[in-house]
Every structure is written in C-alpha cells, then in structure tokens.
Structure 1
Amino acid sequence: MPEYTVPGVYVQETSSRRKTIDGVNTHTTAFIGPTLQGPDASVDSAPELLTSFAEFEQIYGSLDDLPADECQSSATNFVAYAARAFFDEGGQYLYISRTSDFSSLASYQRALAAIEPLQDIAIVATPGNTSVEVAHALIAYAERPDTQSFAVIDPPPGLTSAEVLEYRGQFDSKYAAMYYPWVVASSKEDEEILLPPSGFICGIYARTDVQRGVHHAPANEELRGVVGFEHNITRIDQEKLNPEGINCLRFFEGRGHQVWGARTLSREPEWKYVNVRRFFNYLQASIDRGTPWAESTPNGEILWANIQQLISDFLFNEWRKGSLVGNKVEEAFFVRCDRSTMTQLDIDNQRVVCLVGVAVIKPAEFMVFRVELNAA
C-alpha cells in the first residue's frame, strides 16, 4: 500500500481480470532428422518455427535426395517430404531439429535435447528413421513429465502384417502410436515414391485438433495427396493389428485413403486411445502453465480455494465445449484442494496437493446395429 503524505487526488491502476487457465496449443510439431541444409541442432541455436513448406525450403532445402552415407542405403529426403505432407494435411506449426546424419543414435539424442527448451511442442516424430533405439529415445522424450509430448513411430517399410506385429512388440508406451503401412505419394518429379506415415499423421493430428479439438480421435480422416499404400490392408489384417495397437491406413471405395485407428502402444486399458492420452497432456500442460502465480503464495485455505475455483472454471469450459462426458457438471469432473488431499507434512513442506478427476470421451470404435425382423 503506497504512503500518501501530501493532500491531493491519487490514481491507482488495478486489474479486475480474474485469473484464468488458457488452453495450451496441442498441435505444434517437431521433426527430428537430416535435411539438405540448415542449422545443425547439436551445435547451433534452437530450431526456428515454420508455418509453411516454403519456409522449410528456404531454411532446410528442397525435396532433393540426401547424400548417401555408409549406414543408410536410401538417400530419400524423408524429413522434407514429411514437412510437405504435414502442411498439406493441415499442420500449422513445425520445428525441424536437424541431425548431422541419418543413423547415429547420439545425433538424434542431441537433436532431441535441442528442442527441450521449446515448451509448445506437443507432437514429435523422426520421419523415416525406423531404428528401434531411435524410437525408444523418441518415446523416452515424450514420456518425460516436462515435455507433455506425444510420439508418432514409423515402422520399417516392406513389413508384412506378421512382421509389423513383431516390430511393434518392442514398444509399450501410452505416449506413442504407430501407423502401418507406408504411404505412396508423388515425388518432386511427379513419380510415385514410398514415404513413412508419420508426416501425414502428424498433420492429421494438427488438423483434427484445430477443427474438432484434441479430445477428438484423429481417425476416420482422409489422407490428402496420397496415391496409395505399400500394402492394401484388409479387414482380416486389421482384426489382427488393431487389438495390438497398430493403426491401419486403408483405402475404401468412395471414401478414399483413410486413417482407420487411434490407439496408442500401451498395454494399459485406460490409455488405449490416442485422444485420451493427448487430451490429458493438454489438461496437465494447461493447468501447469496457468498456475505459476501460486508459487510462494501463503499455503492456506485461501490459496486452496482459489486453485480449486480456477481449475474448476477451466474444466467447466472444457465440458461446455464437449470435451468431457456427462449431462451434469458433477458427472464430468471434480476438483478437490483442501485438507482431504494434503497431510500436515505436505503443508509444512510447502506442498499444495490438488486432486482432479475428469470423465474423458473415448472414440466409438465399434458401431453395433441390432436389426430385428418381425414376423407379419
């Protein structure tokens, strides 16, 4: 409170705005891998944010093939093609963390470290790199509580259904998803080229988030600019792959090329679906970034009530948008921040413990219609 020593009129500026939690961006993406040119993530500054493929070409080069190395027989510029697909599918924000080569695990680890300071990245992929070690490094990055990211994994090209099941068996994570088979698209010379799915899928994630919301499953969506797939997946194939968390890309007559699945690589039933995991990432990141004001605030009933009201208001807006299940607010979520969620030891150690429960929307995977024939 200022001290007034001289008679007169004094004007004070105050804010009547209530503290609120704003939803974070859920579709900013980072691709890790080699390009023709551009800053090397291991030695240069943090990657720049791209908003178009034209910007990608200016900084990282064209779709031309990469110089082959002794460990990589294919010189296809997968990251460049993935960036093109990402923006064609509706992606808006993309970082490229450039590696010095295609095959070195250490190079990918340095490139992942380079994107750590970028708080807005929600989706990560290593387009075209199908090394199990690199995939595990990507998943480990997504699983870190400070990143709030989700990984899209590419299986190797040329795999049969049985072989992709074997490859998938090396992963178990609720922070990652895999799509099969590889995609046939047009090359720079308008010839057919085989490309990894991740660039297309990340763009579809972004498109779905913008048009429908992160709570909506990124499935039953058309892939744009796709000529075909490496294999034609049948219903029998998908009956084997879908339960194992391998999301199939299929062609349907009259509907085109579709993403036909939205499952994670997790064995845990509650984290089976991509949209559930990514929606929780969104909630956690939004709450985390919307409550820094609470630090160093006196730890008592007033603070607890303010936090509870703040999070409740945020979740109420999510419920109104259709992100949560329930005809009534009480069915959609609850927030508790009081002595029932904290011990005296928590309070003495300056810990505020808030318990939040939400009823999330899960995709309708199986549509069952009962048709009854009544006798005349």
Structure 2
Amino acid sequence: MAAIFKYPGVYIQEQSALHHSVSDLPTSVPAFIGYTEKALKNGESLLNIPTKIRSFAEYVNFFGVGFNAKFDILDLLSNDSGIPIKVKSGKKVLDYVPNHKAYMFASIKLFYDNGGKDCYIVSVGTYGDASSVTVEADDLLGTKIVNGNILEGGLNVLKNYVEPTIIVIPDAVNLASVQCCQVYQRVLSHCFEMENRFAVLDIHNGFQKGMAGHATNDIITNFRAQIGTQNLKFGAVYYPWLEAIIDRSEPTFQNINLPLGELKQLLPENRANAIIDEHLKINDITADINQNLHLALLTASLTYKDIIKTIKVLKNRIPPCGAIAGIYVATDNNRGVWKAPAGVSVNSVIKPTVHLSSTEQELLNVDAVSGKSINAINYFTGRGTLVWGARTLAGNSYEYRYISVHRTILHVKKSIKTGLKPFVFEPNNTNTWVAVKNMISNYLNALWRDGALVGSQPEKAYFVRVGLGQTMTAQDILEGNMIVSVGVALIKPAEFIVFKIIQNMQDS
C-alpha cells in the first residue's frame, strides 16, 4: 500500500535490497556426550549443559584431562579383552581395572587432530579425583531418575539445540554389548526425530578380531543382531578400534593394581626384586622416590619394562568415533558434505588394532542378509591408516546407502525448511509461489555449481515445483497448505572402480 502524505515536504523511505534466501546451514558440528574430569566455566557448573568449544585447549580448560586408570594383571583364561604378557609364573593378561575406562578425553584429542573445529560437549558426569568411572546408559541418554524426576541431560538435552548435526558417544562402548547397542538405538531414533543429525558409532570391543558373520558370538555378528532395524540410515559404524598416539604420559608401577610385594613375585629378575625390597624399607615415600623406583625397575627388569609398554598400548587403544567425526568436519569444510568421508588417512594413529584382509572388508562392507554395512579402517603399505568405507548402516538401501548422500539430503532439507520460515502466513498465491521457487532454485543452483549435484545443466540436476495444478489443489489452498516439491540428483561415491583391459590380437 502506498504511503499517505499529509503535508508538503521531503520524505525518506527505507527499501530493503535483500530478498529471502536459503542459508547454507553448518553441516558438521558434532556433539560429544560422555564423562569428563570436571565441568566448570568461570566457577559455574557445565554438567549436562551442552557447551560449545572451538579448540582442544578450550576443552581442557573447561572439562579437564583424561582419567588416571589402573590396570590388573589377571590369569590368561579369565579375560579376553586384555593383552597377554609374560611374567615369572607364566603367561598372564593385562587389562583395565573395572570401571577405569573413559574415552571422552582421548576422543576429543583425536577429533581435533583429524580436522575438528567447533563442537558441543555434554558432560554427564565428572570423575575428578575419584577412584573409578561408572558409565551408565541413563547418564548418556539423559533418562536418569533422581528423586522421582528425570534428570534432564545427556542426549535428551540436545533436543533443545538446533546446531549439532553429528552425535558421538565414545563412552557407550564401556557398557555391556547389549546396553551399548540399546544406547545406539536411542541415538539413531534421536537423529530421526531431529531430522538434521547423523550418528557416528563404534563396535563394542572393536579392538578384537571380528569374523563378520562366521561365529555366533562374534563382535560383528552381535552388533548386527543387537542394533535393530530402525532408523539405520541415520548412522554409520566403524571398525576396528585404533592404536593411537594420544596419551604420552609415562605409566609407572603405581598404575598397576598390585601391592609392590605382589608385583615383585611376577618379576623374574633378581636385581629388580632387590630394588623393590630396598624400597619397601623406606618409611617416608615421596613422589621423587617412587619415580626413582620406576626408573630403576625399567633398567633392571625386562618384564617390568614390557608391562609398562603394554599399559601404554592399552591406554592408547581407542574407539575411532572421535577421529571419524574430525574427518567428517575436515571433509565437509574442504570439499563439501557431498564428498564421502573416506579414502583419507587417520592422524595421530599408529595402526588399527586389527588388520583386515580384502575378504574380511568385503564381508563388513556388504552384508546380503542384514544389509548392515560396517565401514572398515585399515592399514595400507605406503599410505598409512585409511578410512575405507562410506556406507550408512542401511547398506541395502538404494537411496540412503552412502553417508555423503544421506547427510547431503539432511542438509538440503534443513536448509530449505529454515529458508521457508519467513513465508509462513504469507498469501498462498502466485507471487509467493514464484518467490519460493526462485529462492529454492537459487540455493540448488549454487549447490550444483559447487559440484554437489549430478547433471550437465541445472534442469538435469534439480527441479522445484509449486503452484495450483502442479503441487496443490484448490482444497489445499483452502486448508492453508502450500506444498513445494523439490527433486535433486545427488552425486554418489565411486565405490567400485572397474577398468577393462582388452588385448588387440593382430595377425603377424
């Protein structure tokens, strides 16, 4: 409507030069859920409050460092998750003391080492100076009941935040196998409900050799059986775990869950036994004295040295989810969300805990029965440790088989949905339809020019339809519904490259 002027003079009218547009929303902002040393910012508690950080230094400042774990030396037959060692009495196995594993700190370090940037941290519990870390599914999910009320936190509290697009729960693997997969099921359901999120998952006990369907109690078979069948396109799982270079601290005999007198019985070297005997005679033990004992035992006992070396390996045996989340971020920023986050090296890693043959990778990548694809991480001579899989858990789905395809769809849907919000309550007429079509077309054209869509011409890469007789009936308009139909032709990774060699036979 034209302005009504009531007296002569000069009038200034501000006219907006901006038109409605679809903003390209962030695609890679992970949210990490787990246990931290502390959860404080400026003296205020951050417990169960999603907190955005921008660097590893910020994480350490607000959430502290890793848990100072201890390790048991056990009979070989009583443990199948530790690492065998040889002591005076024969073969034993070295493993974490129960409730001494917490993977949040190491996962965040791997995240930033592999290209991570902004992320959210949800601390569901702190260990501080505690003697153990008790991981509970209710903590991680935010379903814990305190005084008859649900303690809002964990995964549930992220429903109130729109920015996170990737969910990572490193400590879920510290639950029992069934519980771990139950947590993952809830995560996949959460991603489905939020419509813009994708889960990065680990295999429970994924440091062990998997048979991919050849054994009934195999870790791969168990995972596929326990993960369920719902919302599989909203997540991807990676195997095996990684032997990383994260914890560079030097463990000592104080990290071994044995009194010195019992440790002495495991060391065959007489010189080491004598050193321990002398140490036990000292009344006032200081940190320096303990450190001197550690250094002396390293020199006097190859057995002790091997125990310490094995502890280092265990402390750096880490599920890959943090590194993978970092690779997602780096790939999105460098190439785009439509580029498969695979074929790239994993930083700060010595090697995967399990080496996979081509046949084993094949059984992981494609499972004809369940269709639940598992992405391999493998070592390649001359190339290092590479992510060698790009599939969602819905491996048999033609539309949502690939991580990059589904994440691009999630990104496009969320961006267009956000861009359409200013049109709520606008007249449902031709002018609005033209504006909507132009806005979405401009956005998709930009994606096409960036290489996200297939097609030599824009009209072959996407379409946008809106209008009476196209997407709506007169009844739709009467009911206040504006229906927009959008089609996109997404690029897919060249997962299988086939080349043919033809020998041209000529008469001599």
Is 1:219 the equivalent of 2:342?
yes
Name the amino acid aligned to 2:139: S
Deviation at 1:81, TM superposition (A): 0.7
Q: CA deviation at 1:280?
A: 0.4
Which residue number in structure 2 is paired with residue 179 of structure 1?
238
Equivalent residue letter for 2:383: R
TM-aligned CA deviation for residue 77 of structure 1: 2.7
Q: Is 1:286–2:415 an aligned residue pair?
A: yes
Counterpart CA distance in 2 for 1:290 and 1:132 is 36
CA contact (8 A) 1:37 1:61 kept: yes
Deviates more, 1:160-169 or 1:323-332: 160-169
Amino acid aligned to 1:109: L
Residue 47 of structure 1 pairs with residue 50 of structure 2: yes
Cross-structure match for 2:67: 64
8 Å contact kept, 1:25–1:120:
yes
TM-score, with structure 2 as normaliser: 0.70
Q: Does 1:210 align with 2:266?
A: no
Larger Rg: 2
Residues 1:121 and 2:160 are matched in the alignment = no
**Corresponding position of 1:375:** 505
Q: Distance in 1 between matches of 2:27 and 2:165?
A: 5
Q: Is 1:107 paired with 2:139?
A: yes
Distance in 1 of aligned mates of 2:47 and 2:387: 37
- Equivalent position of 1:269 in the other structure: 398
What is the aligned counterpart of 1:156 among 190, 204, 227?
204
- Aligned residue for 1:203, secondary structure, equals helix
Alpha-carbon distance in 1 for matches of 2:48, 2:204 = 31
Distance 1:257 1:320, change over 3 A: same
Give the match for residue 18 of structure 1. Answer: 19
Asked if residue 32 in structure 1 is aligned to residue 33 in structure 2, the reply is yes
Residue identity matched to 2:505: A
Deviation digits for residues 114-136 of structure 1 (CA, Å, limit 9, x no counterpart): 22222111111111313111111
SS of the aligned residue for 1:152 comes to strand
TM-score, L = length of structure 1: 0.93
Q: 1:237 to 1:330 in 2, by over 3 A?
A: same
Partner amino acid, structure 2, of 1:82: S
% identical equivalent positions: 32
Structure 1, residues 260-318: CA drift from partner, whole Å, max 9, x if none?
Answer: 00100114221100000000011011111112110111112211121111101100111
CA RMSD in angstroms, aligned pairs only: 2.1
Equivalent of residue 139 in structure 1, options 185, 188, 205: 188
- SS for the counterpart of 1:290 is helix
Equivalence map 1:295-374=2 (5 Å)? 295-339=424-468, 340-374=470-504
Q: Does the aligned pair in 1 maintain the 2:168–2:200 contact within 8 Å?
A: yes
CA distances 1:77-96 after superposition (whole Å, capped 9, x unpaired): 31111111111100111111
Within 2, Cα distance between the matches of 1:143 and 1:197?
Answer: 23
1:256 to 364, 378, 384: 384
Cα 1:67–1:335 change in 2 (3 A) is farther
Shift of residue 35 of structure 1?
Answer: 1.1
Contact map agreement 1:28 1:206 (CA 8 A) in 2: yes
1:318-367: CA deviation from partner (whole Å, max 9, x where unpaired): 10111000011111001101122123332122111111000000000111
1:166 to 222, 230, 235: 222
For 1:356, what is the secondary structure of its paired residue?
strand
Distance, in Å, in 2 between the alignment partners of 1:2 and 1:49 is 47
Judged with a 3 Å threshold, the aligned counterparts in structure 2 of structure 1 residues 105 and 344 are, in CA distance, closer, same or farther, namely farther
Q: Which moved more, 1:202-211 or 1:184-193?
A: 184-193
Task: Tell me by how many angstroms 1:147 deviates.
Answer: 4.4
Question: Which is helix-richer, 1 or 2?
Answer: 2
Displacement of 1:46 after TM fit? 3.4
Q: Please tell me the residue identity of whatever aligns with 2:104.
A: V
Contiguous gaps of at least 5 residues in structure 2? 72-96, 126-132, 143-153, 174-179, 213-217, 251-311, 368-372
Is contact 1:39–1:45 with CA below 8 Å preserved after alignment? no
Cross-structure match for 1:237: 360
Deviation at 1:104, TM superposition (A): 2.4
1:141, distance to aligned residue in structure 2 (A): 0.9
Measure, in 2, the Cα distance between the counterparts of 1:46 and 1:7.
59
Q: CA deviation at 1:27?
A: 0.7
Once the 2 structures are TM-superposed, how far is the Cα of residue 33 of structure 1 from its aligned partner?
1.1
**How far apart are residue 67 of structure 1 and its match?**
9.9
Provide the rounded CA distance (Å) in 2 between the counterparts of 1:159 and 1:106: 29
User: Whole-Å Cα distance in 1 between the matches of residues 435 and 69 of structure 2?
Assistant: 55
One-letter code of the match for 1:92? K
Cα 1:292–1:181 shift into 2, 3 Å: same
For 1:372 and 1:332, locate their aligned partners in 2 and report how far apart those are by CA, in whole Å: 34
Q: How far apart, CA to CA, are the structure 2 residues paired with 1:357 and 1:14?
A: 34
What residue number does 2:290 align with? none
> Paired residue for 1:247?
375
**Counterparts of 1:143 and 1:20 in 2: how far apart (Å)?**
26
Contact 1:102–1:129 under 8 Å retained in 2: no
**Retained in 2: the 8 A contact 1:247–1:262?**
yes
Distance across 2 between alignment mates of 1:350 and 1:188: 62
SS state at 1:140 partner? helix
How big is the shift at 1:198? Answer: 0.3
Q: 1:44 to 1:84 in 2, by over 3 A?
A: closer
